[in-house]
Structure 1
Amino acid sequence: MILADLQSRVRIALTNTLVEEWTLFTPTTGTSRPSERTIAFHLGWYLRQTVDRSWDVDSEYDRSGMVLEQSVQYDGHVPNLIVHHRGMLGPEHNLLLVHVAVDSASDAHEGPGIETALALQQRFGYRYAMLLDLRLHTEGRRASVTPYWQWTTLEHGPERPEPAPVYTDRVLAEITERARRAGD
């Protein structure tokens, strides 16, 4: 699968996550932000519908079948979502590694950056890795997301030096409006 095709599939999955699970992001669902793990689960749920059925979509998959081993961690971080063939190794069996951040752009303690995703990608031979920062902002009972992503390929490293918006402003406004209507 080429990068542009995979990006399109991930964008569709993210759109479905935002529209169908909007209440996950709104302050009315609790006092804290949703966890990266929860968001990755929902993203994976919708991504599963866009990739060929031969691929497995997992969250924090542990190849050893035991407690998550140190070897699948990098600087204490593990990927939130992977698309792979379970039990197989190498780039032909490891398609995508994803790390999700709720809002690393404004966190005082920054989460893992593209370097972390790149290190995990190289260690396990994932063809592609992506860092997705939702940039969730809440004000009163209103929530907004401004998703940015940064992609790397195993052969060439980061696609761009900085994260890029997932959507244009117009498309994001339409998605957000659909999500709010669906959540009401």
Structure 2
Amino acid sequence: MILADLQSRLRIALTNTLVEEWTLFTPTTGTSRPSERTIAFQLGWYVRQTVERTWNVDSEYDRSGMMLESSVQFGPDAGHVPNLIVHHRGLLGPEHNLLLVHVAVDSTTADEPGPGIETAQALQRRFGYRYAMLLDLRLHTEGRRASVTPYWQWATLEHGPETPEPVAVYTPRVLNEITERARRAGD
């Protein structure tokens, strides 16, 4: 699968996640922001619908049970691991490891920034994932209103960073249409 095709599929999956799961992002009384793991889980359901059935879509899959050396930990502590992967379970190499994804709720305002593309590339090289993607939703809440401005950054195993800096997933017009559709569906 080529990068442009995979990006289109991930954009579709993200759009479906935003529209169908909008209440996940919308604050309600007494609740906190959604976790990266929760968002990745929901995104995984929609990614599953966009890739061939031969691929497995998993969250934090680790059958080896091994501790990662510090050079390939996803972030400053072991708590940062890719929270979504597309692969063939139990098989090794780039032909069986398609994509690793790390989802951030809002890394632009976090006290401790999340992992960068270099960290993703270390894991990508270590385990032979063809593609790595960092997705920052840039979730902002004000009162009972939420907004997201998703940015992503991609790397390929062969060429390294394809987008050295995060880029917007949607144009402002498209994002506005998706957000309005999501709010209507959530009402």
**Match for residue 70 of structure 1 among 61, 67, 72:** 67
Hey, what's the Cα distance between the residues in 2 that align with 1:18 and 1:145?
A: 9
Hey, what's the Cα distance between the residues in 2 that align with 1:70 and 1:147?
A: 31
* Map of 1:12 onto structure 2: 12
When structure 1 is superposed on structure 2, of 72-81 and 31-40 the one drifting more is 72-81
* Map of 2:54 onto structure 1: 54
Hey, what's the Cα distance between the residues in 1 that align with 2:67 and 2:106?
A: 26
* Map of 1:106 onto structure 2: 109
Matched, 1:162 2:182: no
- For normalisation by structure 2, the TM-score amounts to 0.93
Matched, 1:34 2:37: no
* Map of 2:125 onto structure 1: 122
Asked if 2 retains the 8 angstrom alpha-carbon contact of 1:26 and 1:141, the reply is: yes
Deviations 1:28-57 (A, max 9, x none): 174311000000000000000000000000
Hey, what's the Cα distance between the residues in 2 that align with 1:63 and 1:29?
A: 39
Hey, what's the Cα distance between the residues in 2 that align with 1:32 and 1:111?
A: 19
Hey, what's the Cα distance between the residues in 2 that align with 1:3 and 1:29?
A: 41
Instruction: Indicate how the Cα distance of structure 1 residues 29 and 133 shifts in structure 2: closer, same or farther if over 3 A, else same.
Output: farther
**Structure 1: segments with no counterpart, 5+ residues:** none
- SS of 2:114's equivalent in the other structure is coil
- SS of 2:126's equivalent in the other structure is helix
- SS of 1:174's equivalent in the other structure is helix
When structure 1 is superposed on structure 2, of 111-120 and 26-35 the one drifting more is 26-35
Q: What is the CA-CA distance between 1:73 and the residue it aligns to?
A: 3.8
| Count of matched residue pairs | 181
* Map of 2:85 onto structure 1: 82
Q: What is the CA-CA distance between 1:86 and the residue it aligns to?
A: 0.2
Asked if 2 retains the 8 angstrom alpha-carbon contact of 1:23 and 1:29, the reply is: no
Deviations 1:5-64 (A, max 9, x none): 000000000000000000000111743110000000000000000000000000000122
User: Residue type matched to 1:143 in 2?
Assistant: A
**Structure 2: segments with no counterpart, 5+ residues:** none
Asked if 2 retains the 8 angstrom alpha-carbon contact of 1:131 and 1:151, the reply is: yes
Hey, what's the Cα distance between the residues in 2 that align with 1:60 and 1:73?
A: 13
Asked if 1 retains the 8 angstrom alpha-carbon contact of 2:73 and 2:119, the reply is: no
**Match for residue 147 of structure 1 among 146, 150, 169:** 150
- SS of 2:165's equivalent in the other structure is coil
